[in-house]
């Protein structure tokens, strides 16, 4: 059945079915969530809400993407540069452990840095939960609920809970409005006057609640800035609109009695970028409450669908009747091939999570996107620059959500002045640099420990994301905007590279291969080195991009010539080790952990396109060997990354195997660095703990299995697993050059395709293994 007909049928059937079991784009459950990792994430790019669907007590976790503890700081060690020559000499003398010691003493950030990932009360700060809204219900009897259903429809961005007690059906509907910027919860009872409950707001610390003089429940507070305590301020406010019965505002509670319908409006904000946030919170709430709920909901769905509906996907026959999502995951584990729609759901869920966790003009999704339930979020819920924040954006261009890359560009732009200070303090270098972690306060210094904190690839890797948006959009104004950023990053590397006397290559020093270690000839474990492969690849790619940009913009000819000369002196995109793998370091060191979660030395394969089966077949073979040794497990982001690598190596069955691994159900929340990634019942990815990069990375992986366009041509279905090839259809994916792609396939062959663009353009397309030049059709 084609997608249009299928969708039409779905909409016709929906009112009759009432229930969600037949909607392929729905998560649903027959029980309330028993831990946070089972609750359903809703968000409008700024505000988030996660209802647990509780019967007697419902807890709804609230988020605001700007709510961070900590404050701006200057943690640069301005004496660091004087130690650089000595550090470099020690590395040249193969005294890596001595170099590492010296770095720990004199070349990391000043102060506690990230606080070892527990930085809520230091200046680095932490992304924190905004609060909990708790609803306590009184059913007058001990409630025995039947017909329980809890669901999240990702086609409409609406969640709901429904159950029946003593013949009364209670319904709750929740959304984070893409219309007015508020959160809404609508509660109804099928019989008159059956809703009796209280509403309460709190959070683990730094809060005060009161009843506002406009009949509202208000929670305010100020987080710790890591110095004397006075950090970011926030306010959240709840008002109720009630049909029948009455509502009281007293004792820091909203109390609803004998109502038939209640709509709770929640407005929130912080002083992160809005100094008059308190009155903004009030105003937004008042405006939202003047609209009818149904109109509010309609606008919400329309605005959400403007982005979501750009892509439709179908891998064969839709499942007629699906199981509740948690059982469906168990069933998929046993018999994955019988549920080809779960990967479709997981792909679209990735797009749903992107739309919900970021918006143009605000912040990019952090380690947990928008959703956190603690004041000490794991790893501070920060922006990790050695794969995680980059992965959070990898599904966006192919997934036709291009503009959602702009918040990352804004974050990076804001980092530049801080990164310039860091470049000077540590390397006396031009341009700007960022190391491994950043926050909303512009942190660019090395992390507090040499073993991971000295990585040099952060700023360069961010430039890959910025550049990628240009490749997909061809937007020249955007190119002019990012040019100073990528130029500054290139200038940093240009002025700090040193010559490796053994090879004659220009390399970074000191650096690390992200978070990994190697063995020195004397058996010692070491991290710090010169010229790890990822740095070499990033510098090569960045210099090339700056050269291309300067030519396109017709500026900086001298710089571009200079970079062209330097490119000749860089290490190649990969060196093949004696055992046939891509070497991770400049030297063929032995690794203590051959299955380490980071696979940074394949950066050239993805996200860069320095290694491809067509242009560098030997390196592509070596990449395969690298991946065989690394294995197919890890935290979810690592599994997702491997999925992307195998897609680029055109092995669809292997990529699918990794996707199946990510979809392993788990409820574990312990911090894991090894094997064991999976998904929670709410399909959020588990490192564990919850970390959203696995969701976005896997969505990017599925995109890459369907269309690739990084090697100078568009390839349709380049890495499909056998099980998806029977029949299917995809509409609205994007390829580099601002092309929109529609494909239909059957029995392993593309049967129809369209390549569309704003202006018909000649483009090379590989279809069913045949490379041809076509002219795109007008979009």
Contact positions vs ligand FUC (CB under 6 A) = 367, 379, 384, 388, 515, 597-598, 635, 637, 673, 687, 691
Residue 615's Cβ-side half-sphere holds a number of Cα atoms within 13 Å equal to 13
By Cβ distance, which residue is nearest to ligand FUC?
379
Q: Which two tokens stand for residue 323?
A: 């199981």
Measured from the Cβ of residue 298, the count of other Cβ atoms closer than 10 Å reads 13
Per-residue DSSP letter, 278: H
* Closer residue to ligand FUC in complex, CB, 70/447: 447
* Closer residue to ligand FUC in complex, CB, 119/613: 119
Cβ 438 to ligand FUC shortest distance, Å? 13
* Closer residue to ligand FUC in complex, CB, 455/486: 455
Cβ 670 to ligand FUC shortest distance, Å? 12
Cβ 685 to ligand FUC shortest distance, Å? 11
Least Cα distance to 52 among 575, 711, 494, 682 occurs for 682
Pair type for strands 762-767 and 714-716:
parallel
Cβ 392 to ligand FUC shortest distance, Å? 11
* Closer residue to ligand FUC in complex, CB, 634/681: 634
Cβ 437 to ligand FUC shortest distance, Å? 9
Axis crossing angle, helix 458-473 with helix 476-496, rounded to the nearest 10 = 150
The gap from C-alpha 549 to its chain's centroid, in whole angstroms, comes to 27
* Closer residue to ligand FUC in complex, CB, 300/597: 597
The beta strands (E) that lie in 305-355 are given as 312-314
Least Cα distance to 25 among 48, 7, 47, 4 occurs for 7
Q: How many Å apart are CA 627 and CA 613, to the nearest integer?
A: 15
Per-residue DSSP letter, 324: P
H, E, C per residue of 670-737: CCCCCCCCEECCCCCEECCCECCHHHHHHHHHHHHHHEECCCCCEEECCCCCHHHCCEEEEEEEEECC
* Closer residue to ligand FUC in complex, CB, 510/634: 634
Contact predicate 313/347, CB 8 Å: yes
* Closer residue to ligand FUC in complex, CB, 597/648: 597
Cβ 697 to ligand FUC shortest distance, Å? 11
Q: How many Å apart are CA 432 and CA 426, to the nearest integer?
A: 11
Cβ 388 to ligand FUC shortest distance, Å? 5
Contact predicate 673/654, CB 8 Å: no
Cβ 634 to ligand FUC shortest distance, Å? 8
744 forms beta bridges with 729, 752
Q: Three-class SS of residue 567?
A: helix
Cβ 593 to ligand FUC shortest distance, Å? 12
* Closer residue to ligand FUC in complex, CB, 161/392: 392
Cβ 544 to ligand FUC shortest distance, Å? 27
* Closer residue to ligand FUC in complex, CB, 151/691: 691
* Closer residue to ligand FUC in complex, CB, 161/388: 388
679 forms beta bridges with 665, 685
Total residues belonging to the chain: 779
729 burial class (0-12, 13-18, 19+ CB within 10 angstroms)? buried
């Amino acid at each position: 059945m084609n997608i249009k007909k299928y969708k039409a049928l779905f909409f016709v059937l929906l009112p009759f079915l009432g229930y969600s079991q037949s909607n392929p784009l729905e998560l649903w459950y027959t029980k309330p969530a028993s831990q946070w990792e089972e609750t359903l994430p809703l968000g409008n790019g700024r505000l988030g809400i996660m209802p647990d669907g509780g019967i007697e007590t419902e807890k709804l976790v609230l988020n605001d993407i700007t709510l961070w503890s900590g404050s701006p700081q200057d943690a640069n060690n301005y004496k660091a540069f004087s130690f650089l020559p000595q550090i470099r000499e020690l590395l040249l003398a193969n005294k890596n452990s001595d170099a590492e010691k010296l770095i720990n003493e004199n070349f990391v950030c000043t102060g506690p840095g990230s606080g070892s990932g527990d930085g809520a009360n230091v200046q680095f700060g932490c992304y924190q939960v905004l609060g909990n809204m708790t609803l306590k219900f009184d059913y007058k009897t001990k409630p025995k609920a039947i017909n329980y259903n809890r669901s999240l429809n990702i086609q409409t961005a609406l969640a709901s809970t429904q159950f029946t007690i003593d013949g009364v059906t209670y319904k709750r509907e929740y959304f984070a409005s893409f219309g007015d910027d508020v959160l809404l919860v609508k509660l109804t009872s099928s019989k008159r006057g059956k809703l009796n409950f209280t509403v309460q707001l709190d959070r683990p610390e730094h809060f005060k609640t009161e009843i506002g003089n406009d009949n509202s429940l208000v929670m305010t507070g100020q987080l710790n800035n890591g110095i004397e305590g006075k950090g970011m301020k926030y306010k959240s406010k709840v008002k109720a609109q009630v049909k029948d019965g009455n509502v009281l505002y007293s004792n820091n509670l909203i109390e609803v009695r004998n109502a038939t319908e209640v709509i709770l409006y929640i407005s929130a904000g912080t002083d992160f970028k809005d100094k008059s946030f308190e009155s903004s919170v009030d105003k937004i709430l008042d405006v939202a409450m003047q609209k009818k709920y149904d109109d509010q909901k309609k606008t919400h769905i329309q605005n959400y669908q403007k982005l979501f509906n750009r892509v439709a996907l179908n891998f064969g026959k839709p499942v007629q009747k699906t199981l509740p999502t948690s059982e469906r995951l168990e069933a998929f584990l046993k018999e994955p091939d019988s549920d080809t729609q779960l990967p479709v759901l997981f792909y679209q869920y990735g797009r749903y999570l992107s739309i919900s966790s970021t918006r143009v003009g605000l912040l990019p999704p952090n380690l947990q996107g928008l959703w956190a339930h603690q004041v000490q979020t794991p790893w501070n819920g920060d922006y990790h620059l050695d794969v995680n924040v980059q992965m959070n954006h990898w599904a966006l261009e192919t997934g036709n959500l291009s503009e959602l890359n702009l918040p990352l560009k804004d974050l990076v732009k804001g980092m530049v002045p801080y990164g310039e200070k860091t470049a000077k303090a540590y390397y006396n270098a031009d341009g700007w640099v960022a190391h491994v972690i950043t926050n909303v306060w512009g942190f660019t210094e090395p992390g507090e420990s040499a073993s991971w904190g000295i990585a040099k690839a952060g700023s360069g890797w961010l430039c890959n994301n910025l550049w990628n948006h240009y490749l997909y959009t061809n937007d020249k104004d955007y190119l002019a905007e990012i040019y100073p950023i990528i130029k500054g990053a290139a200038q940093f590397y240009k002025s700090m590279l040193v010559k490796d006397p053994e090879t004659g290559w220009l390399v970074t020093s000191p650096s690390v291969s992200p978070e990994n270690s190697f063995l020195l000839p004397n058996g010692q474990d070491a991290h710090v080195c010169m010229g790890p492969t990822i740095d070499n690849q990033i510098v090569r790619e960045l210099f090339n991009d700056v050269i291309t940009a300067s030519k396109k913009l017709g500026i900086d000819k001298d710089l571009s010539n200079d970079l062209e000369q330097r490119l000749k002196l860089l290490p190649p995109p990969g060196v093949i080790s004696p055992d046939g793998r891509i070497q991770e370091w400049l030297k063929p060191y032995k690794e203590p952990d051959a299955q380490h979660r980071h696979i940074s030395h394949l950066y050239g394969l993805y996200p860069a396109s320095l290694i491809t089966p067509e242009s560098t077949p030997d390196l592509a073979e070596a990449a395969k060997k690298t991946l065989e040794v690394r294995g197919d497990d890890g935290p979810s982001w690592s599994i997702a990354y491997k999925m992307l690598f195998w897609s680029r190596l055109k092995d669809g069955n292997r990529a699918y195997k990794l996707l199946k691994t990510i979809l392993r159900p788990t409820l574990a929340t312990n911090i894991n660095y090894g094997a064991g990634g999976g998904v929670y019942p709410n399909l959020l990815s588990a490192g564990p703990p919850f970390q959203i990069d696995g969701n976005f990375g896997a969505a990017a992986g599925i995109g890459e299995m369907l269309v690739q366009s990084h090697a100078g041509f568009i390839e349709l279905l380049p890495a499909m697993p056998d099980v998806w090839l029977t029949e299917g259809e995809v509409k609205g994916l994007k390829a580099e050059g601002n092309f929109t792609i529609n494909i239909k396939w059957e029995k392993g062959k593309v049967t129809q395709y369209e390549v569309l663009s704003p202006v018909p353009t000649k483009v090379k397309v590989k279809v069913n293994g045949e490379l041809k030049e076509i002219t795109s059709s007008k979009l």
